[in-house]
Amino acid sequence: MSAAREPQNANSRSPSPRLPRLALLVLALMLFAQQAEGQFRKPVACDDCIWDWYYYDHGSFAVQDWSCGNSTYGDHIGSDYSLRGNNDAIDTGNDVVAAAAGTVISTEDGYFDHCTQCGGAQCGLGFGNGFANQVYIDHGTYKAMYGHMRTGSIMVEPGETVECGQVIGQIGSSGCSTGAHLHFEPQTSSGTAVDPYEGDCSPTSPSLWIDQGAHRDLPGEACGDGEPPPPQCPEGTYEVWTCNEAKTERRRCIDGVDSTEPCPAGCVAMAVGINDECMMPPDGDGDSSRADVDCDDGDAAIHPGAVDTCGDAIDQDCSGADATCMLPPTGGVGGAAGGVSAGASGAAAGSAGIGGQAGMTAGAPPIGGAGGLGGVGGASAGSAGAGTTGFAAPERSSSCAASPRGGSGRAAWLMLASLCVLAIRRRALVHRDQLGV
Ligand SMILES: [Zn+2]
């Protein structure tokens, strides 16, 4: 039988004769039953990692568990939860949790944890009362022993406060054990072992479990304070980042928060207890943008943040599209009109072509973009728009050619242009008068 067993002399409590022990138990239960209403949750984290049960033995002449069945063995005074997969499953890590809130009384760790025979090499009776890697917790009304755990898995220290459902270690087969299992043993404050199960063949009533569950099944996981059980991390996860087998991602789980990060360039395993690292993607073209963000890692002129030249059909800044060139806004027309007007005044003064030409150039893209803004925009832009045109005319018609500089937009410019036309006509009249025409 692969079941775990503790011998009668595995600890100091078991060798006592059966009848006095039962009498003591009944007395203890009378004292504690009233305040012993269900307080324990199942002492393991898993739902289906337990496949066999060995309860407290109440039989006098034959074994008898709490429900009058035989799922126990002679003189066993705890509840054994046998691990599915036996010793082969120890290394997968199967959490043992505190069955209730409490304070850690003592712990032991460091014993060989793949025992198959009680009293064998490294699995002798002398190892910590036969429970070897163990946690002993004061849960208030009761204490509880959690025994035979996995080497190096004990996560709590004496004096430490634990919450109901908190992971305290993992299932193993250390000490006096024939196979991987958890030995859970509630005790009275004086150290007498108590069967937590209520049943026809158990003196315990009511059950010490909050939700006892069926015979050969696990008790419920809810804790007595009404709070949901603390979140648990899946088996096989760790608190440090750990690469997956394919080295394509890394994963960690802390307090039930299970996270995965992709490692597209590979994952590098580090020493135990240290975060595994995602490899940095390469920077093929040396432009300081690595391959995972560089849209062309073979061209150093192309990377996020680069200046994108518009209209060349190349997406230099990795924005997803080539930059759009700015079309001349409405003001471009104004610039052109300014040029034409200035040209017109120039024509009246006898040097038309240059002023007009300049005006047209200023209004045309791409340079005209600035000129055009001037046409729409106001004083400063207006001077820009008129700038090119204005220079053509000042010598000949200073008052008119310079006038756009003082304008404050298209309306002002048109008004000034009109005034110029009037002035020119007047000059022409004067000229005619002088000539006597
Ligand atoms: Zn046991």
| Domain harbouring 139, CATH code | 2.70.70.10
79 shares its domain with 174: yes
Lowest mean pLDDT among 113-122, 223-232, 315-324: 223-232
Q: Considering the chain, what is the average pLDDT of its residues?
A: 75
Please say whether the beta carbons of 256 and 264 come within 8 A.
no
Domain count of the fold of the chain: 3
In the predicted model, is pLDDT for residue 30 greater than 90?
A: no
Q: How far is the CA of 7 from the centre of ligand 1 (A)?
A: 9
| Reported confidence tier of residue 327, pLDDT bands at 50, 70, 90 | confident
Q: How far is the CA of 148 from the centre of ligand 1 (A)?
A: 9
Q: How far is the CA of 79 from the centre of ligand 1 (A)?
A: 6
Q: How far is the CA of 131 from the centre of ligand 1 (A)?
A: 9
Q: How far is the CA of 176 from the centre of ligand 1 (A)?
A: 9
Q: How far is the CA of 183 from the centre of ligand 1 (A)?
A: 4
Q: How far is the CA of 245 from the centre of ligand 1 (A)?
A: 36
133 shares its domain with 45: yes
Q: How far is the CA of 5 from the centre of ligand 1 (A)?
A: 6
Query: Within a domain: residue 403?
Result: yes
Cross-strand partners of 52 = 82
Q: How far is the CA of 292 from the centre of ligand 1 (A)?
A: 55
Query: Within a domain: residue 264?
Result: yes
Q: Residue 67 to residues 3, 32, 64, 400: CA-CA distances in angstroms?
A: 19, 21, 8, 114
Section 207-233 average pLDDT: 84
pLDDT at 118 (0 to 100)? 87
Q: How far is the CA of 77 from the centre of ligand 1 (A)?
A: 7
DSSP 273-284: TS--EEPPPP-T
pLDDT tens digits for 236-267?
889 899 999 999 999 998 877 788 888 989 99
Q: How far is the CA of 182 from the centre of ligand 1 (A)?
A: 7
Q: How far is the CA of 160 from the centre of ligand 1 (A)?
A: 25
172 shares its domain with 251: no
CA distance linking residue 89 with residue 280, whole number of Å: 36
In the predicted model, is pLDDT for residue 390 greater than 80?
A: no
Query: Within a domain: residue 123?
Result: yes
160 shares its domain with 30: yes
Lowest mean pLDDT among 5-19, 54-68, 196-210, 370-384: 370-384
Q: Residue 401 to residues 92, 317, 396: CA-CA distances in angstroms?
A: 91, 44, 8
181 shares its domain with 246: no
89 Cα distance to chain centroid: 29
Q: How far is the CA of 147 from the centre of ligand 1 (A)?
A: 8
Q: How far is the CA of 138 from the centre of ligand 1 (A)?
A: 19
Range(s) of the domain holding residue 248: 242-278
pLDDT at 211 (0 to 100)? 94
179 shares its domain with 247: no
Residue where a domain terminates, one of 167, 187, 207: 187
Q: How far is the CA of 196 from the centre of ligand 1 (A)?
A: 13
| Reported confidence tier of residue 286, pLDDT bands at 50, 70, 90 | very high
Q: How far is the CA of 31 from the centre of ligand 1 (A)?
A: 25
Q: Residue 189 to residues 41, 78, 163, 216, 314: CA-CA distances in angstroms?
A: 19, 16, 19, 27, 80
Q: How far is the CA of 416 from the centre of ligand 1 (A)?
A: 107
Query: Within a domain: residue 6?
Result: no
36 shares its domain with 175: yes
Lowest mean pLDDT among 57-71, 120-134, 330-344: 330-344
The b-or-e profile of 304-330 (16+ CB within 10 A means b, else e) is eebebeeeeebbbbbeeebbeeeebee
19 Cα distance to chain centroid: 57
Q: How far is the CA of 158 from the centre of ligand 1 (A)?
A: 22
Q: How far is the CA of 82 from the centre of ligand 1 (A)?
A: 9
274 shares its domain with 413: no
Q: How far is the CA of 15 from the centre of ligand 1 (A)?
A: 15
Q: How far is the CA of 81 from the centre of ligand 1 (A)?
A: 8
Question: Residue 421: helix, strand or coil by DSSP?
Answer: helix
| Reported confidence tier of residue 125, pLDDT bands at 50, 70, 90 | confident
Q: How far is the CA of 180 from the centre of ligand 1 (A)?
A: 11
Residue where a domain terminates, one of 140, 171, 187: 187
CA distance linking residue 71 with residue 197, whole number of Å: 13
Query: Within a domain: residue 298?
Result: no
Query: Within a domain: residue 290?
Result: no
Closest CA to 343 of 392, 281, 406: 392
Residue 161 CB neighbours (<10 A): 12
Residue where a domain terminates, one of 278, 305, 324: 278
99: its two tokens: 């069955």
Query: Within a domain: residue 112?
Result: yes
CA distance linking residue 437 with residue 431, whole number of Å: 9
CA distance linking residue 80 with residue 121, whole number of Å: 22
**pTM: predicted TM-score of the whole model, two decimal places:** 0.49
244: its two tokens: 């997956």
272 shares its domain with 159: no
57 shares its domain with 164: yes
pLDDT at 328 (0 to 100)? 66
Closest CA to 276 of 245, 246, 251: 251
Q: How far is the CA of 78 from the centre of ligand 1 (A)?
A: 5
pLDDT at 433 (0 to 100)? 38
DSSP-derived pairing of the beta strands 95-97 and 167-170: antiparallel
| Amino acid, res. 325 | C
pLDDT tens digits for 164-213?
999 999 999 999 999 999 999 999 988 999 999 999 999 999 999 999 99
pLDDT at 22 (0 to 100)? 53
178 shares its domain with 255: no
CA distance linking residue 420 with residue 426, whole number of Å: 10
32 shares its domain with 181: yes
Query: Within a domain: residue 343?
Result: yes
Tokens 């509840």: give the residue. Answer: 79
Q: How far is the CA of 130 from the centre of ligand 1 (A)?
A: 10
Based on its alpha-carbon atoms, the radius of gyration of the chain, rounded to whole angstroms, reads 46
Q: How far is the CA of 174 from the centre of ligand 1 (A)?
A: 12
Q: How far is the CA of 55 from the centre of ligand 1 (A)?
A: 8
Residue 423 phi, psi (nearest 5): -65, -45
Residue 342 CB neighbours (<10 A): 34
